[in-house]
A and B are shown apart, each in its own frame.
Chain A
Amino acid sequence: MNWIEPNSIDVTPIQHLNEQGVLTGKTVINDEEKLDIYKWMVKARRFDELAVKFQRQGKIGTYAPLTGQEAAQVGSAFALEEKDWIFPSYREAAACFVRGTKPSSFFKYAMGHLHGGILKEEGVFPVQIIIGAQALHAAGSAWADQYKNNDAVSVAYIGDGATSQGDFHEAMNFASVFQLPVVYFVQNNQWAISVPYHKQTRSLSIAQKALAYGMTGVQVDGNDAVGVYETMKEARSLAKDGKPVLIEALTHRMGPHTTSDDPSKYRSKEGDEAWGKKDPIARYRKWLEGLQLWSEEEEQDLNASIEDELKQAFNEATETTTTSLGDALGYVYEKPTNRLREQILEWKGSGESK
């Protein structure tokens, strides 16, 4: 009998930089890039802290923190090329920053500005609210590149919860059937709001789900920026040749799901502490210091410059004039329908009725 037992599939995660900050694997990252990755991670975390603080102060609306997932996001986005596209969820500020999205855009998005969020030129799709829906958009985008013989790759950023959605499975299937240049990058942060991984799926890993679709799957320590970078580099190169890849980055959302969520209701202190020891930034800094690439003084300079930049970004967002509802209604169709035109006029107080 050739039964396939679920626990017979063994997946060993890739790790290049261990929790003590010791490089255990190889890397092609040069010194300048090493520092860039670190700076992006530190900036992302500070942005995150500020966003949570501003939400508490009522200065911005609901925000979905990413602290703990900096290595997964920065390491993966940093491995891409400018022509590539990413399809983020609402928790991917760090990945979007690496692509060129300004922190002020994210502040504006969280403030509910019409022109907040993503610009097309950044090769970033607007952040997705519906869980997993972007997995299909990434497949379609990759399909467009394949069709036009562009040498680009599309990357969908999804969470562990999204792998329960139909769209995830349809996207994996399409990607594999049509051999699309797409990478599915799952940040398995252990929690879909309050539901833990083991209640989301009985698969021992998300990476192994790739086998069912006839594509390549890989699991990586998502708190190891070096491992993530190298894995994405390799995945990108496979995807480019029509071999789509599913990457599972094992990580942990240290904060709440959003600023409206209280993780103490569903998470243990011990669990959080265990994950705290795997902090992606702390281990990376140790590594840089060990390489004599980083000092306390440089750390302080970096923090000061980030503080300035983010303060400016926030001021820019705060000072942005609110766009009117009348203007917003102009974006439903390329040209407003007669009815919308009527409603815009009505809103502006000069509505005509027949």
Chain B
Amino acid sequence: MTEMNMIEAINFTLRQEMEKDEDVLILGEDVGRNGGVFRATDGLVDTFGERRVVDTPLAESGIIGTAVGMAVRGLKPVAEIQFLGFIYEAMDQIAAQAARIRFRSAGNFHAPMVIRAPYSGGVKTPELHSDSLEALFMHSAGIKVIMPSSPSDAKGLLNAAIEDPDPVLFLEPMKLYRAIRENVEEERYTIEIGKANILKEGSDITLISWGSTMAETKKAVQMLEENGYSIELIDLRTIVPLDEETIIDSVMKTSRCVVVHEAVKSAGVGAEISAIINEKALFYISAPVLRVTGYDSPYPVATVENDWIPSVDRIVREVKHVWELSLD
């Protein structure tokens, strides 16, 4: 066991995977000598050389498109998009190429690759650096989407992502890169992709969140528990595939659900979760599923971002609201 923050855990995992398998290579902007703008790839070029830790030209579509070609031809590229907000530039290569190739070739070709990208606000970045865009990829069948919220989850999930035979988008909450330190197992381990984590059991209300908003959600849970609510807290960990079973089992027990995410509200993952509960557990719930999310606007400027991101207060308020709305 070693104490690590999330960025150290990611760096550790990448090193471990590259030692294990020579076909794993890293490509992206500033990932080499600079070690990535957040130091996720720090020092790797010294160990593995420029052949395996590649500073690419500044071109997002180029990074992902070449990774598709590599992956199909037997390499295991781990591509970095410097900030998730820049991923629109590579949207075709992800959604129309990497995600679809298995389906459109009836399994004859596939692209086992990982795309890492930091996202999330609360760190006062310039425009288009902070957006939470996971729903776009949930809507693009063929790719998996992982969003860890702790250093040890980041390690186990990144290990799993790199060995996964499908393309995986691995989204790292910038805000949590250095916010949490915890003991992380150094031995290689994997966390199953598509399995949510019940962080805390409870009986009154199910609270579901993932990635960056786990920090606020945990604080809100603490306050609510102090106020006498029994909260079941689920960290989704993976957006695609979605662990419907854990969600449904929990809601059938608590009969109430609030989803917290940083992405905009409309057509977000929260809407999807709400629909699943509606389809599969309608008669077990006693109140509408409520959502605490970012507002339906582009991610805002730094001076107002803390009002835009779901706050502890907003989460507490909506949990109390769902309690008031309950039929029983």
Contacts and interface: CB of A to CB of B under 8 A. Distances in A.
B101 interface: yes
Interface residues of B, number: 50
B92 A139 contact: no
A353 interface: yes
Given A141-B69, A170-B61, A339-B242, A148 B103 contact: no
B45 to A, nearest CB: 15
Interface in A118-155: 118-120, 125-126, 130, 133, 135-145, 147-148, 154
A130 B281 CA distance: 41
A85 B106 CA distance: 19
Given A118-B108, A139-B69, A167-B65, A144 B75 contact: yes
Contacts of A331: 102-103, 105-107
B66 A125 contact: no
Given A167-B61, A333-B102, A136 B68 contact: yes
B69 A138 contact: yes
Nearest to B110: A334
Interface string B58-101: 01011011111111111101000000000000001100110001
Interface string A322-345: 010000101111100111000000
B20 interface: no
A137 B280 CA distance: 42
Contacts of B57: 170, 173-174, 177
Contacts of B108: 117-120, 126
B107 A120 contact: no
Contacts of A115: 106
Interface string A166-182: 11001101100110000
Chain A interface residue bracket vs B: 35 or more
Interface of A is mostly: helix
A354 interface: yes
B61 A166 contact: yes
A114 B69 CA distance: 22
Contact of B62 (A85, A136, A338): A136
B166 interface: yes
Contacts of A174: 56-57, 59, 62, 66
Contacts of B241: 333, 337-339
A334 B109 CA distance: 11
Contact of B97 (A117, A133, A147): A133
A259 B96 CA distance: 24
A118 B101 CA distance: 12
Interface string A28-62: 00000000000000000000000000000000000
Nearest to B144: A333
B106 A139 contact: no
B245 interface: yes
B59 A170 contact: yes
B72 A338 contact: no
A291 to B, nearest CB: 40
Contacts of B165: 334
Nearest to A156: B69
5 contacts: A130-B92, A137-B65, A154-B69, A332-B142, A339-B241
Q: Which 8 A-B pairs have the closest CB atoms?
A: A140-B69, A136-B65, A170-B62, A144-B73, A337-B241, A140-B66, A137-B69, A141-B69
Given A85-B73, A136-B62, A137-B69, 19 more contacts: A87-B69, A120-B109, A126-B101, A136-B93, A137-B72, A139-B66, A140-B69, A140-B77, A142-B69, A167-B65, A174-B59, A177-B56, A328-B103, A331-B102, A333-B144, A334-B166, A337-B240, A337-B241, A339-B242
